[in-house]
Amino acid sequence: MENGETLKQQRIAVIGAGVMGCALIKGMLAAGRITRDNVWAVVATSNSQKRIAEELGIRVYRDLPVDEIAQTDTFLICTKPYRVVQVLDQLKASKALKPSGLVVSIAAGTTIKQIETALPNYAVIRAMPNTPSLIRAGVTVLAAGSHSQDDHMLVAQEIFQSVGKVWQLDERHLDAVTAVSGSGPAYIYLILESLADGAVKVGLPRDIAFQLVSQTMLGAAMMVQDTGKHPATLKDEVTTPAGCTISALLTMEDGRIRSTLARAVEEATRTAAGLGNA
């Protein structure tokens, strides 16, 4: 089968079509990897049900419909973490699940063990995407459960490739991944805003500051990816002796910027580990 074709054979349910669930549906539709007939969604409120059905042109329910469950190959669980076990219990209670089906959960902190306990012997994949998935520039890391086979992983890869780049790691890394790429966009926004504040302080209009800083961040990130050079090497290459870059860098070091950012990731990892029990 051609790369990207596995998903076309699948019927997909998105349980919890909120910010992330809708981003995934839109991404899969835009990438041509699913058709509107082959995807359905569940939300909690009638407002969301009406809005999403109109916006995406798919079937949206407020309860889990047994006839749909019976025909579904892959369930994407995109509710808040504290709702996941309740949703899995409802799926099991329907007695309609295909034995060969797959559950993919994006809930932060909810472990594969928690999911496999609710659905014994079912194929499970845990995924950690991030919000740039909304513009198909996301990062997703996948971790396989104990009953997940290669073809299940292929399905999950194709889902998340439709909204960005995908890596596969052992589940023990997922709290760290949550802290790095899951929460990461927020750290970058804060850094972007701080640099723009500096630009405003030295006289640039704020809208220009945001454009210059965000494009500089994009360019610097692409330099790391395209050259494969260590960031420290790239930093040294733009640091002229007695120049302004080294003045800025030493000022940042005085503020302990490295350990502050690194410790922030460590703290977020600790918090991520507790989310599934909240």
Ligand X SMILES: NC(=O)c1ccc[n+]([C@@H]2O[C@H](COP(=O)([O-])OP(=O)(O)OC[C@H]3O[C@@H](n4cnc5c(N)ncnc54)[C@H](OP(=O)(O)O)[C@@H]3O)[C@@H](O)[C@H]2O)c1
C-beta of residue 96 within 8 angstroms of C-beta of residue 125: no
Question: Least distance from C-beta 6 to ligand X, angstroms?
Answer: 23
**19 marked among binding-site residues:** yes
- Residues 214 to 253 in contact with ligand X, rule: CB under 6 A: none
Nearest residue (CB) to ligand X, 68 versus 235:
68
Question: Least distance from C-beta 165 to ligand X, angstroms?
Answer: 15
Among 19, 93, 135, 238, indicate the residue that binds ligand X (CB under 6 A). 19
**125 marked among binding-site residues:** no
- Residues 141 to 200 in contact with ligand X, rule: CB under 6 A: 182
Residue 112's CB is within 10 A of a number of other CB atoms, namely 20
Among 6, 72, 79, 162, indicate the residue that binds ligand X (CB under 6 A). 79
Nearest residue (CB) to ligand X, 21 versus 101:
21
Question: Least distance from C-beta 86 to ligand X, angstroms?
Answer: 6
Stretch that binds ligand X, among 79-87, 93-101, 227-235, 250-258 (CB under 6 A): 79-87
Verify binding: residue 130, ligand X, rule CB under 6 A: yes
Among 6, 48, 72, 114, indicate the residue that binds ligand X (CB under 6 A). 48
Chain residue at closest Cβ approach to ligand X: 18
Between CA 229 and CA 118 the distance in angstroms is 45
Between CA 60 and CA 238 the distance in angstroms is 53
Binding mask 87-126 for ligand X (x = CB under 6 A): x------------------xxx------------------
Q: Which residues bind ligand X (CB under 6 A)?
A: 15-21, 42-45, 48, 78-81, 83, 87, 106-108, 128-131, 182
